[in-house]
């Protein structure tokens, strides 16, 4: 518990720092808007009202971060308003988003800081680049827009990662990886659409903002459907207890291996004495053992390692590697499984394992043959363990 608290402390300090810096910035921007914002009043009111209308629409992405159509809509302010005024466009909509639930004011401070910082930086980057290039040609405007949007999106996702890491109790590096890995074509589509709408708004005014909003809502609907389908697919291919790939995921992997084989090793792992644990301590304890092994099998293994619960207490791990790395990867897997067993022995529960390994291409290049070879080696080791326990060796 103490270790968990020590891990949470830096993230809590970061979210607090972001909230303080962001809201101090917003106070200054609000004062600037009140003092000098009259020439941009119509655009400011239009963007604020549009954001208010769509502020509550949201879809939660697999990483835990959210996608809101209001964000790329309000991003239009980067191109049509000065940085200080662009930063405060979001404030009424943020107040509507967080509602009046318990602790709403904390969420308001965090969310307003998040959006205010990203809009201020994006608008500042766009204006600075325009001034530097000193050109109104479309290619120059597009270049400035792409850089500004990259700054806006990068800071937006980075702050979102810090907030989600604190909320979910994840390591910050892990959350950064999850958040940035799920970037897809919906992001550049929505953000570049914001730029094109802002350019069109210079000649067509409010009508362009209305049409751009309709297109943004269509992009949001597409992303919501895509996210839901991805979630269903992930659920269909994931073992509910261990969160590893299930038998269906393994079958899918073997099919893909037929056309995209890679050098590596297949390890088939079987837990020893799981039946005795279920009979002695109950199936809930057995489930805890299986779930814990799932956690261990997702740690400290090479990138692109695939892990599956094949069925019951049998697991399959495929880890790609060069032939020369085979021994060290095997050692890492052995150490990981030993750490798992030792952790349960400290709790007074004897959990052993048997493992067989087959190597591609040394043993075979056929995935089915590799699996059967590793499975045979695992059963041979399991028999040896039983023989030792019975005192026959």
The pLDDT of residue 78 = 92
Indicate if 24 and 111 belong to the same structural domain: yes
Overall average pLDDT of the 237-243 stretch:
90
Q: What pLDDT band is residue 100 in, cutting at 50, 70 and 90? A: low
CB-based contact 94:136 (threshold 8 Å) = no
Considering the domain architecture, whether residues 29 and 163 belong to the same structural domain is answered as yes
Distance CA 393, CA 391 (A): 6
Domain that holds residue 369: 247-389
Tell me the CATH number at 111: 1.10.1760.20
Pick the more confident residue, 4 or 299.
Answer: 299
Alpha helices in 76-185 (DSSP H): 77-80, 83-88, 91-98, 104-133, 138-168, 172-181
- pLDDT at position 292 is 92
281 and 378 part of one domain = yes
Q: What is the average pLDDT score of the chain?
A: 84
Between CA 292 and CA 373 the distance in angstroms is: 26
48 shares a domain with 181: yes
7 pLDDT tier (thresholds 50, 70, 90): very low
> Which residues have C-beta within 8 Å of that of residue 16, sequence separation ≥ 6?
none
- The CATH number of residue 284's host domain is 3.30.70.270
Distance CA 337, CA 355 (A): 10
| Better-predicted residue by pLDDT, 168 or 326 | 168
pLDDT exceeds cutoff 80 at 328: no
Residue 25 has what pLDDT? 94
How buried is 308 (Cβ within 10 angstroms: 0-12 exposed, 13-18 middle, 19+ buried)? Answer: buried
Number of domains present in the structure of the chain: 2
Q: How many CA atoms lie within 13 A of 210 on its CB side?
A: 4
pLDDT score for 59: 79
pLDDT tens digits, 196-217: 888 888 788 788 888 888 888 8
pLDDT digits (tens, 9 = 90+) for 63-89: 666 778 888 888 889 998 999 999 999
Residues 230 and 270 in one domain: no
Tens-digit pLDDT profile for residues 131-160: 898 878 888 888 999 999 999 989 988 998
Predicted confidence (pLDDT) at residue 9 exceeds the cutoff of 70: no
Q: Is residue 241 part of a domain?
A: no
Is 317 a member of any domain? yes
pLDDT for the residue 174: 78
For residues 162 and 90, membership in a common domain is answered with: yes
DSSP classification of residue 347: T
183 and 270 co-located in one domain: no
Distance (Å, rounded) from C-alpha 262 to C-alpha 359? Answer: 10
Concatenating the DSSP letter of every residue in 201-259 gives HHHHTHHHHHHHHHHHHHHHHHHHHHHHHHHHHHHHTB-TTT-SB-HHHHHHHHHHHHH
Q: Using the 3D structure, point to which of 208, 236, 264 is the last residue of a domain.
A: 236
Same domain for 83 and 189, yes or no, is yes
DSSP code at position 19: H
Q: Is the same domain home to 150 and 59?
A: yes
């Amino acid at each position: 518990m103490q270790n968990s608290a020590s891990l949470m402390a830096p993230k809590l300090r970061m979210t607090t720092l972001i909230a303080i810096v962001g809201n101090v910035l917003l106070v200054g921007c609000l004062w600037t808007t009140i003092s000098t914002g009259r020439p941009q009043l119509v655009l400011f009111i239009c963007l604020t009202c549009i954001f208010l209308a769509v502020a509550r629409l949201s879809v939660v992405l697999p990483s835990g971060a959210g996608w809101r159509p209001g964000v790329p809509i309000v991003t239009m302010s980067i191109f049509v308003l000065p940085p200080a005024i662009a930063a405060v466009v979001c404030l009424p909509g943020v107040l509507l988003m967080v509602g009046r639930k318990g602790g709403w004011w904390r969420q308001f401070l965090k969310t307003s800081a998040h959006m205010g910082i990203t809009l201020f930086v994006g608008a500042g980057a766009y204006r600075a680049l325009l001034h530097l290039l000193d050109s109104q040609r479309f290619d120059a405007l597009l270049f400035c827009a792409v850089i500004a949007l990259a700054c806006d999106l990068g800071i937006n996702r980075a702050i979102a990662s810090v907030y989600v890491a604190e909320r979910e109790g994840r390591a910050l590096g892990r959350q950064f990886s999850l958040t940035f890995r799920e970037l897809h074509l919906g992001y550049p589509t929505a953000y570049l659409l914001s730029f094109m709408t802002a350019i069109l708004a210079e000649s067509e005014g409010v009508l362009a903002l209305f049409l751009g909003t309709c297109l943004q809502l269509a992009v949001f609907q597409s992303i919501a459907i895509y996210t839901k389908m991805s979630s269903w697919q992930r659920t269909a291919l994931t073992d509910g207890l261990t969160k590893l790939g299930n038998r269906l995921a393994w079958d899918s992997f073997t099919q893909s291996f037929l056309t995209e084989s890679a050098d590596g090793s297949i390890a088939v792992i079987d837990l020893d004495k799981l039946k005795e644990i279920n009979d002695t301590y109950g199936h809930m304890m057995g489930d805890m053992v299986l779930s814990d092994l799932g956690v261990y099998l997702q740690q400290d293994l090479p990138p692109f390692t695939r892990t599956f619960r094949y069925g019951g207490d049998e697991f399959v791990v495929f880890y790609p590697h060069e032939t020369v790395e085979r021994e060290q990867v095997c050692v890492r897997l052995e150490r990981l499984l030993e750490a798992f067993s030792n952790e349960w022995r400290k709790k007074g529960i004897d959990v052993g394992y048997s493992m067989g390994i087959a190597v591609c291409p040394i043993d075979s290049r056929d995935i089915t043959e590799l699996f059967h070879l590793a499975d045979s080696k695992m059963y041979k080791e399991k028999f040896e363990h039983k023989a030792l326990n019975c005192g026959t060796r």
